[in-house]
A and B are shown apart, each in its own frame.
Chain A
């Protein structure tokens, strides 16, 4: 188990902490076996396209907390995605019990050339004061960038001084893009900064309170938990400083995706003694059964859980069976981050669909909590069998387009924007589901099935579009081995 050290300002990157990789091609079972025996080597690519970086992931963990301010300490461009979180915060508020959300307060220290020469610490100090005067936030988060990291600004020192001066938590979050090929390292960095400054161990326990590490998806847990007599404590979008502090008083922590919440779950467990539910999230029927049973056990609600499972199964499984008749045998390809992509594979396989392959952005050999039963890919394979053409690929579009063009699935399922369009350009019906809760539980399975069927059946637009779509990839590339640029030995391709 990785040791959480809240005294350190920085989190170790996933490559080191979790032996995570971004390059693999083979079968899902091969990957899991290799990873679990510690023999996972990373394969590198000689050609790469734009990926993503940690700073925007760190921003997504902190910027949706209520009544705080965020400063991106770097050039203006590193705050370019702030507006998306502002939009999300407004439009999803009503779904999450915040009916009239305020404008989020997000700033850039607008680092200029002279700051990179003489250092940006003084500018940051002034920025924090100005933000405090303008916003009077209850906490300020400083997110670092490649530029502030390389020039070596003492962001931790400046933040601690400001905390003293202003009397509110000021947390430095180290999430420079160049540090890690695995941008989910930014989630870890964000949670580290939150737990360090906002969560303290507590003797007091709040009965039935369950931490849920998630994004901003619809509030499905309240409904479920009502039946179980539990109360959800969502972390961290729409949380307040109080609800974050309450995380230390919860009975158990669950996650909608162990890749997202790995660090947060472990940090709360190790520093506050709140155990993490060591069961992969509830996607697909067998895993949903197991998850609710485990939750019941962890919270002393075994009987309620059994009743809930029985009732839900009776309500939703007939509709699932009905949908399955139309979906069974259809072919699919998945691209998403781990472990949500693994969960999507479970849903597709539950419907008897033929998963031709998957391109998953990275793979964590183990999570901060090393329990086998948290490994979504392992449980998926265990429940439904292997997945071939399984690549670990940090969103390298050229590889994906090559594979899609070869495999020509009936549907292309994705979790993230930016690459879904490639399904459509190649004439393949493509589905993007942004709400991470959408396919959870028995009800989610049915909801997801409807979307799948709807996407497969409504192909007129896709077919028409693909006849006119521009494809910049060369014919030579589209007919080459998709792994031409993937090294065998981890030292770069040919």
Chain B
């Protein structure tokens, strides 16, 4: 693979979006002058209060390339305390610092040694994707900050996990999932609905750095993700003996959300969380009731609408959407998933598992799936397919023109995108499934004028 066309994710330093998503945390870049802007412009309108042009940065110049930039980093960190309020600082290094061999760890450890809440992570762009760097970032904060705070609390065994109802939730990668805020809020709501209490860790409903400090106190971890985040929960299992529950795609709509809730409940029971089965049953029953009332409206519309509607879909995007939306649209909306495209570059060891997940969605047909970060190839393939029916293309901003050229309906979902402004829209859960239906048919009906 020599090139990537139409990138659907970015490089390691994109993990700064995960820092921005923690209330009270600020990223500090030890990188070239453009890296911060590249990241904030990739994830348009999501620089939050501390990303983009607000993030301190050493802005590597020729001087730092030749003589090293450690002194400059020290200076920028030192002055940052006079200028920006923060509960936690996360230093991220770029290509320049890595290639010239700066030791950011040593600079950061001097501040950490003075009791400053500060951690560091090497994120040169050539190292890995922003998704892989997100995993490393979460581990770095726990390893370098949370563990230290826990040690400082006297009379407490840092390796002891407390049985109980508290769980850590790991799901959407901030910004990489354009609906990360809504999806996290909804997953938290669902887990709380069955009696758990949730460290959501990112977004406005997180209690910020104080919440991160309680990560080791949780009973177990919940990972809702196809592949990204597995190293985090494996790390927590090793470090704090916390087991993890893994749901390998987004649970969307009635079937999958109920399945998700029941599986988490059974897992929690095995961990001695002491949840109440009656609470679970009542919750599922209420949520399903509301959900299927709306599906009844959908069914009426689908059966009685006299004009054309999309009958099949291609999705280009993150693995949990491709799998979760394909399942939902096939079983609960009646839109058939045809060729599918996973574009978030899963590590090699997950490829066959992810392929099998998508291919096995339907009992009656095999759904072909292509796993390739070079989304230009996905576009070429879709451009060459003809089904003679109205299609629905779900993809990033790159795909709007392709949809128009093919005469397909288009729902923007992946990054990068200037085609919609997500606030708290969510596609996970019962309400997320309904929102997805609304978003699809809003766009479809808008074509009739």
A sample of 12 inter-chain contacts (CB < 8 A) reads A47-B76, A49-B57, A50-B54, A53-B34, A75-B95, A103-B402, A113-B127, A116-B98, A147-B95, A151-B99, A471-B49, A472-B26
| Residues A76 and B34 in contact, CB atoms below 8 Å apart | no
| Assembly CA distance A395 to B33 (angstroms) | 11
**Quick one: which of B9, B75, B129 has the most chain A CB within 10 A?**
B75
| Residues B54 and A177 in contact, CB atoms below 8 Å apart | no
Residues of A127-173 contacting chain B, CB below 8 A: 127, 129-131, 134, 145-147, 150-151
Of A1-9, A82-90, A220-228, A452-460, the one with at least 4 CB within 8 A of chain B: A82-90
Kindly state whether residue B424 has any CB partner on chain A within 8 Å: no
| Assembly CA distance A203 to B127 (angstroms) | 51
17 extra interchain contacts, Cβ-Cβ under 8 A, other than A77-B42, A177-B33?
A49-B53, A49-B54, A53-B38, A74-B125, A78-B125, A83-B418, A87-B397, A112-B126, A113-B124, A113-B127, A129-B2, A146-B60, A147-B125, A177-B32, A474-B83, A480-B82, A492-B75
CB-CB under 8 A for A50 and B52, given A76-B10, A113-B126, A150-B96: yes
Q: Which A residues are in CB contact (< 8 Å) with B64?
A: 178
Kindly state whether residue A419 has any CB partner on chain B within 8 Å: yes
Nearest CB in chain B: distance from A391 CB, A: 16
CB-CB under 8 A for A50 and B57, given A83-B416, A86-B398, A472-B26: yes
Nearest A residue to B32 via CB reads A177
Kindly state whether residue B40 has any CB partner on chain A within 8 Å: yes
Kindly state whether residue B39 has any CB partner on chain A within 8 Å: yes
Nearest CB in chain A: distance from B137 CB, A: 15
Nearest B residue to A176 via CB reads B32
Kindly state whether residue A56 has any CB partner on chain B within 8 Å: yes
Contact of B2 among A49, A123, A477 (CB under 8 A): A123
CB-CB under 8 A for A105 and B39, given A46-B79, A178-B65, A472-B85: no
| Assembly CA distance A441 to B200 (angstroms) | 54
Per-residue 0/1 for A37-57: is the Cβ within 8 Å of any B Cβ (1 yes, 0 no)? 000000000111111111110
CB-CB under 8 A for A50 and B4, given A75-B125, A146-B94, A474-B84: no
Per-residue 0/1 for A260-301: is the Cβ within 8 Å of any B Cβ (1 yes, 0 no)? 000000000000000000000000000000000000000000
Contact of A84 among B39, B41, B83 (CB under 8 A): B41
Residues of B4-46 contacting chain A, CB below 8 A: 4-7, 9-14, 26, 29, 32-42, 44
| Residues B49 and A472 in contact, CB atoms below 8 Å apart | yes
Nearest A residue to B100 via CB reads A150
Per-residue 0/1 for A187-223: is the Cβ within 8 Å of any B Cβ (1 yes, 0 no)? 0000000000000000000000000000000000000
Kindly state whether residue A473 has any CB partner on chain B within 8 Å: yes
By size class, the interface of chain A is 35 or more
CB-CB under 8 A for A48 and B58, given A77-B10, A111-B126, A473-B84: yes
Q: Which B residues are in CB contact (< 8 Å) with A150?
A: 65, 95-96, 99-100
| Residues B38 and A398 in contact, CB atoms below 8 Å apart | no
Q: Which A residues are in CB contact (< 8 Å) with B5?
A: 105-107, 134
Q: Which A residues are in CB contact (< 8 Å) with B52?
A: 50, 418
Nearest CB in chain A: distance from B11 CB, A: 3
Q: Which A residues are in CB contact (< 8 Å) with B396?
A: 83
Residues of A100-134 contacting chain B, CB below 8 A: 103, 105-113, 115-116, 123, 126-127, 129-131, 134
| Assembly CA distance A14 to B32 (angstroms) | 18
Q: Which B residues are in CB contact (< 8 Å) with A473?
A: 83-85
Nearest B residue to A47 via CB reads B79
| Residues A470 and B76 in contact, CB atoms below 8 Å apart | no
CB-CB under 8 A for A53 and B37, given A77-B11, A477-B83: yes
Kindly state whether residue A71 has any CB partner on chain B within 8 Å: yes
Q: Which A residues are in CB contact (< 8 Å) with B241?
A: none
| Residues A53 and B32 in contact, CB atoms below 8 Å apart | yes
| Assembly CA distance A145 to B60 (angstroms) | 13
Q: Which B residues are in CB contact (< 8 Å) with A71?
A: 3
| Assembly CA distance A260 to B37 (angstroms) | 20
Kindly state whether residue B47 has any CB partner on chain A within 8 Å: yes
| Residues B7 and A82 in contact, CB atoms below 8 Å apart | yes
| Residues A181 and B7 in contact, CB atoms below 8 Å apart | no
CB-CB under 8 A for A146 and B79, given A83-B398, A472-B84: no
Contact of B33 among A181, A472, A476 (CB under 8 A): A181
| Assembly CA distance A83 to B75 (angstroms) | 35
| Residues B126 and A418 in contact, CB atoms below 8 Å apart | no
| Assembly CA distance A77 to B11 (angstroms) | 5
| Assembly CA distance A210 to B442 (angstroms) | 47
Nearest CB in chain B: distance from A183 CB, A: 7
Nearest CB in chain A: distance from B425 CB, A: 20
Kindly state whether residue B80 has any CB partner on chain A within 8 Å: yes
| Assembly CA distance A492 to B61 (angstroms) | 14
Q: Which B residues are in CB contact (< 8 Å) with A177?
A: 32-35, 60, 96
| Assembly CA distance A50 to B62 (angstroms) | 16
| Residues B37 and A116 in contact, CB atoms below 8 Å apart | no
Kindly state whether residue A179 has any CB partner on chain B within 8 Å: yes
Q: Which B residues are in CB contact (< 8 Å) with A76?
A: 4, 7, 9-11, 125, 129
Contact of A47 among B42, B56, B397 (CB under 8 A): B56
User: What is the size, in residues, of chain B's interface with A at 8 Å between Cβ atoms?
Assistant: 77
| Residues B4 and A108 in contact, CB atoms below 8 Å apart | yes
| Residues B2 and A178 in contact, CB atoms below 8 Å apart | no
| Assembly CA distance A56 to B36 (angstroms) | 12
Contact of A75 among B124, B416, B418 (CB under 8 A): B124
Kindly state whether residue B258 has any CB partner on chain A within 8 Å: no
Residues on B lying within 8 angstroms of A by beta carbon are 1-7, 9-14, 26, 29, 32-42, 44, 47, 49-50, 52-62, 64-65, 75-76, 79-80, 82-86, 94-96, 98-100, 124-127, 129-130, 373, 376, 379-380, 396-398, 400-402, 416-418
Nearest B residue to A181 via CB reads B61
| Assembly CA distance A406 to B60 (angstroms) | 30
Kindly state whether residue A258 has any CB partner on chain B within 8 Å: no
| Assembly CA distance A471 to B99 (angstroms) | 35
Q: Which A residues are in CB contact (< 8 Å) with B59?
A: 48, 50-51, 181
Kindly state whether residue A80 has any CB partner on chain B within 8 Å: yes
| Assembly CA distance A260 to B438 (angstroms) | 45
| Assembly CA distance A130 to B396 (angstroms) | 24
| Residues B35 and A56 in contact, CB atoms below 8 Å apart | no
Contact of A134 among B83, B376, B402 (CB under 8 A): B376
CB-CB under 8 A for A53 and B49, given A146-B95, A178-B64, A474-B84: no
Q: Which A residues are in CB contact (< 8 Å) with B83?
A: 47, 398, 473-474, 477
**Quick one: which of A77, A110, A113 has the most chain B CB within 10 A?**
A77
**Quick one: which of A56, A474, A480 has the most chain B CB within 10 A?**
A474
Q: Which B residues are in CB contact (< 8 Å) with A90?
A: 400-401
Kindly state whether residue A12 has any CB partner on chain B within 8 Å: no
Nearest A residue to B81 via CB reads A474
Nearest B residue to A55 via CB reads B34
| Residues B75 and A77 in contact, CB atoms below 8 Å apart | no
| Assembly CA distance A77 to B10 (angstroms) | 5
Nearest CB in chain A: distance from B176 CB, A: 12
Kindly state whether residue A79 has any CB partner on chain B within 8 Å: yes
| Assembly CA distance A51 to B61 (angstroms) | 12
CB-CB under 8 A for A110 and B3, given A51-B37, A147-B95: yes
Nearest A residue to B37 via CB reads A52
Contact of A107 among B4, B84, B100, B416 (CB under 8 A): B4
| Assembly CA distance A480 to B79 (angstroms) | 13
Kindly state whether residue A81 has any CB partner on chain B within 8 Å: yes
Kindly state whether residue A384 has any CB partner on chain B within 8 Å: no
Q: Which B residues are in CB contact (< 8 Å) with A75?
A: 11-12, 95, 124-126
Q: Which A residues are in CB contact (< 8 Å) with B35?
A: 50, 53, 77, 177
Q: Which B residues are in CB contact (< 8 Å) with A107?
A: 3-5, 376
| Residues A474 and B82 in contact, CB atoms below 8 Å apart | yes
Nearest B residue to A182 via CB reads B33
Q: Which B residues are in CB contact (< 8 Å) with A395?
A: 53
| Assembly CA distance A130 to B41 (angstroms) | 27
| Residues A472 and B54 in contact, CB atoms below 8 Å apart | yes
Kindly state whether residue A485 has any CB partner on chain B within 8 Å: yes
